[in-house]
Structure 1
Amino acid sequence: MRHLRNLVVKFIATFAVLFIILGMIYDMSFGNIFSISLVLTLAAYLIGDMLILPRTNNTMATVADFGLAFLVIWLMGENLTYGDSLLMPALISAAAIALFETFFHKSIANQINQNNGNQQQSGNLRYQTEASEELTSSNSNNNRNENGQ
């Protein structure tokens, strides 16, 4: 259920960003925006949020999502439409989506920490040192034996 809610939130935000940028500014059709949003949402959730984010940090996952968004928007936009190049609209859209992803990743990370019982919290590491009597050198024992002690 958690994944479904995350996918819906991600799809709505992605669709809204793409509709504003590609639809209102660059006059792309509703169907093309919907298709790009659907593919981008599924790919970014699986790759960026489920694979990269748990293994790295928010910055790396956001950079990966930016690159993925740019490629998906640009390649799908070029294949679905005809006319002008979509290089600049894809860059603008990918930057806007990456901005959203920064905050979305924080939400996902909080959910992952809650599910793991907050076992590992960044910045709250507690190190312990173990000490024992074996730290004295063996030469001091030899000196005692030589002096007759």
Structure 2
Amino acid sequence: MEHAKALAIKGVMTLVILYLVLGVGYSAGFGDVLILTLLLGIISYVAGDLLVLPKMGNVVATIADFGLALLLIWGVGAMLMNQNESLGMGAFFAALLIALGEWMFHSYMTKNILHDSSAEI
């Protein structure tokens, strides 16, 4: 149940950011934003939050989340949205906002899910 709550928090955060940046800024459809949110959420939760965060700490996990978000939003987003214009700046801005949110989310993960006070915050 703890993981479901954590995924829900992460999902809402990511959905809001992607909708504001891609939906409003790039006229992406809600379905495209939702697909990106699900892909990014699941991959970054397993890779960043469950594997990298406990072993390497918040700084490395946040940088990894930024890189993953940038690549996924730029690459998959361009395919989903059939954009003629480059999504590079939008992907960068969205990834930056997601990384800032992840920085705070990692504190929640460390205290409530990982139960490991030795992880760097």
The question of a shared fold, defined as TM-score above 0.5 by the shorter chain, is answered with yes
* Deviation (angstroms), 1:54: 0.4
Q: Deviations over 1:80-104 (max 9, x none)?
A: 1222111111000000000000000
Which runs of 5 or more structure 2 residues have no equivalent in the other structure? none
The CA deviation at 1:121 is: 7.9
Q: Give per-residue Cα distances to partners, 1:103-131, cap 9 Å, x unaligned.
A: 00011111222xx6x6x587xxxxxxxxx
Counterpart for residue 102 of structure 2: 101
Give the structure with higher Rg (CA). 1
Name the CA distance, whole Å, in 2 between partners of 1:22 and 1:70: 13
Moved over 6 A (4+): none
The amino acid that maps onto 2:45 is Y
Counterpart for residue 84 of structure 1: 85
Shift of residue 77, structure 1, vs aligned partner: 1.0
* Counterpart in the other structure of 2:63: 63
1-side partners of 2:22 and 2:10: how far apart? 17
- Report 1:101-120 matches (<5 A): 101-111=102-112, 112-113=114-115, 120=118
The two structures have a TM-score, normalised by structure 1, of: 0.75
Q: TM-score, normalised by structure 2?
A: 0.92
Kindly state the Cα deviation for residue 12 of structure 1 after the two structures are TM-superposed: 0.6
Query: How far is 1:43 from its partner?
Result: 0.4
The correspondence of residues 1-149 of structure 1 with structure 2, limited to 5 A, is 1-82=1-82, 83-111=84-112, 112-113=114-115, 120=118
Higher relative contact order (CA 8 A, sep 6+): 2
SS of the aligned residue for 1:84 comes to coil
Q: Kindly, what percent of the aligned residue pairs are identical?
A: 37
